[in-house]
Amino acid sequence: MNRDELRAAQEPLKARYRDAPGSAVHAVSASAVFGRPVTVEVRTAAGAVRAGLHPAAGGDGSDACSGDMLMEALVACAGVTLHAVSVAFGVDLREVEVRAEATFDARGTLGVDRTAPVGVLGPKVVAEVTTDADETTLQRLATATERYCVVGQSLREPPTIEVRRRAPRDR
């Protein structure tokens, strides 16, 4: 997709969202069900993914790790956003590899040390590109990608978690 094609695809959407801001709000969701041993099956557009404990938290490494899945979501969002931003800016990026990396302290998630943090720490996205663009342009791409990456921006505020009783199903 080139710059003109991207603008042609997005301009009617932008116009509708300017005229009717409520139409710009779209639901996103995911769901999972418990599995065995300590796993959940997450339904994705690409099929079910079984997620379980990271080996540092007692898993055997055969299941997807939610921390890795978070990094996968981040790298997917940042990558698509960078691609769209580079097209919109008219910047030719040829060979591109995007990776997301972070750490987590297993002591926090296992309750070993209440002062140890729980969660993914210091997430960082790095895009290595082949381009003729100058350093100022690369910084503009990074700034715009960070600003418009939905998953990255969502990491600013933790989700609320609610556990509630489910009504019994009729049998």
Q: Residue 143 sits in a domain of what CATH number?
A: 3.30.300.20
| pLDDT value of residue 170 | 79
pLDDT value at residue 169: 84
As for how many domains the chain has, the answer is: 1
Residue 105 lies inside a defined structural domain of this protein: yes
Name every residue whose Cβ is closer than 8 Å to that of residue 65 and which is 6 or more positions away in sequence.
51, 52, 53, 54, 59
Question: Is residue 52 within 8 Å of 63, Cβ to Cβ?
Answer: yes
User: How much is the pTM?
Assistant: 0.89
**3 state DSSP class of 104:** strand
Q: Helix, strand or coil for residue 55?
A: helix
The CA-CA-CA angle for residues 28, 30, 35, to 5°, reads 180
Domain around 110? 3-154
| Domain presence at residue 163 | no
Has residue 30 been placed in a domain? yes
SS3 135: helix
pLDDT tens for the chain, 171 residues long, are 999 999 999 999 999 999 999 999 999 999 999 999 999 999 999 999 999 999 999 999 999 999 999 999 999 999 999 999 999 999 999 999 999 999 999 999 999 999 999 999 999 999 999 999 999 999 999 999 999 999 999 999 999 999 999 888 876
Q: Confirm whether 162 is domain-assigned.
A: no
